[in-house]
Amino acid sequence: MTVGIIGAGIAGLTLGCLLKQRGIECEIFEQSDDVTKYGAGISLTSNAQFPLNNLNILEEIKDAGCEPLDIVWREPNGKVIRNMSLSDFGHVITINRKDLIKILINKYNNLGGIINYNYELSEIANMNQTVKFRNGEARDFKHIIACDGLRSVTRTSYITDENPTYSGYTAWRGIGTSDSKRINIYLGPGSHVVCYPVDNKLNTSFIGIAKRNIFSEETWKREGDHTEMMNDLGNYDQFLHSLFKSSPKVYKWGLYLRNPLKKYCFNNLTLLGDAAHPILPFLGQGGAMAIEDAYSFGSLLLNKNQDFEKTQKMFEKIRLNRVRNIDKASKYQGMINHLSNKMLVNTRNFMLKNTNIASRRTSNIYNYNITEEIKGI
């Protein structure tokens, strides 16, 4: 087999679809028994949509999700700070992550792809040629792609690396109901909440993030309770309180970071998505970076006639600086979102209301087109 992909998340599935679409042999291995159990909303900005359009699934994603027309920044009491058309940020699709994953799986299966569930990696052996799993099986590949997330076993089996560290932010998420078709961003002192529709019904995803020194476990599976969430996030308006209460379950997890890598490629092993560069969610670019990674690696592999060494060199040339810049911008946005000093909060809100700083800072992020960059290589 040519390519072994470890992990059936957004990066692994996008890459699998692209490789199968272009006739390159690959197979995906996933440690869980179902990748559609967990997740909340995800926003797909223009830079994520360009590659998905090339996979011919963008219209299906639009049908399953929602296309909000505007974005509204608010104070905790609901007072509008600024209302802007989303056209200032490119085009945005919001969707339940589970629905996005299902669309990618369906595309991959229709292309003849195979996903092996309950395959947990134990080690990579034989000069990175052999992948061994805890179920006793082993497979040989020309090239191994690590798409197994923040706590990538593939990464740590090859790289001596520090464990992920707690960022100081704790997140809450859920899906409730509302009739709002906007993206609403509430900016409170020390916390913020983002909510948006994930379909054309009433389902509305929310994520609230608070700056906390207390350690929180990094897992999407830990259920919390509504009272704890309210205490963590602080006081917000009645719309948000109603949305929170309408969510049958809420989940709490810590946001974690890893030290940035100077390279993503090691012999015949390549890291993509969170396995290479976990990014804080304050610009909504974690999934987008996974999609860009997958598209660029898969396209370059075809362009370079499946020469993995040449593909890796060009992949790092394209991806390293862009990911670093977005990582820095996301950390900066997190700091801005969680200001607690009253004077600084007022200054932030004044700048947001009276200038175009929000769209100026993000235009080169959201309007970037990886498909056009690859064409020029």
pLDDT in tens, 185-211: 999 999 999 999 999 999 999 999 998
User: How does pLDDT run across 50-65, given as a tens digit for each residue?
Assistant: 999 999 999 999 999 9
Distance from C-alpha of 63 to C-alpha of 288, rounded to nearest angstrom: 19
Q: How confident is the model at residue 1 (pLDDT cuts 50, 70, 90)?
A: low
Q: How confident is the model at residue 358 (pLDDT cuts 50, 70, 90)?
A: confident
- For range 155-182, the mean pLDDT: 90
What are the b/e assignments for 314-340, b being 16+ CB within 10 Å?
bbbebbbebbeebbebbbebbebbbbe
Cβ-contact 254, 301 below 8 angstroms = no
What residue spans of 55-184 are helical by DSSP H? 58-64, 97-110, 153-158
- pTM of the full structure: 0.95
Residues contacting residue 120 through CB under 8 Å, at least 6 positions apart = 31, 133, 134, 135, 153
User: How does pLDDT run across 151-162, given as a tens digit for each residue?
Assistant: 998 888 878 777
- For range 114-130, the mean pLDDT: 86
Q: Of 371, 282, 287, give the one whose Cα is nearest residue 335.
A: 282
What is the C-alpha R_g of the chain? 20
3-class DSSP state for residue 225?
A: coil
pLDDT (0 to 100) of residue 338: 96
Domains of the chain: 3-163+258-375 (3.50.50.60)
Q: How confident is the model at residue 217 (pLDDT cuts 50, 70, 90)?
A: low
Cβ-contact 6, 141 below 8 angstroms = no
Share of the chain above pLDDT 90, in %: 77
Q: Of 311, 307, 292, give the one whose Cα is nearest residue 373.
A: 292
Q: What is the overall mean pLDDT for the chain? A: 92
3-class DSSP state for residue 83?
A: strand
**In the block, residue with structure tokens 């797909």:** 44
User: How does pLDDT run across 284-313, given as a tens digit for each residue?
Assistant: 999 999 999 999 999 999 988 889 999 999
Strand order in the sheet with 115-116: 115-116, 26-29, 3-6, 143-146, 269-271, 265-266
For 220, the token pair is 């999407």
pLDDT (0 to 100) of residue 141: 93
Sign of the Cα pseudo-torsion (31, 34, 39, 42, in order):
positive
Distance from C-alpha of 37 to C-alpha of 191, rounded to nearest angstrom: 27
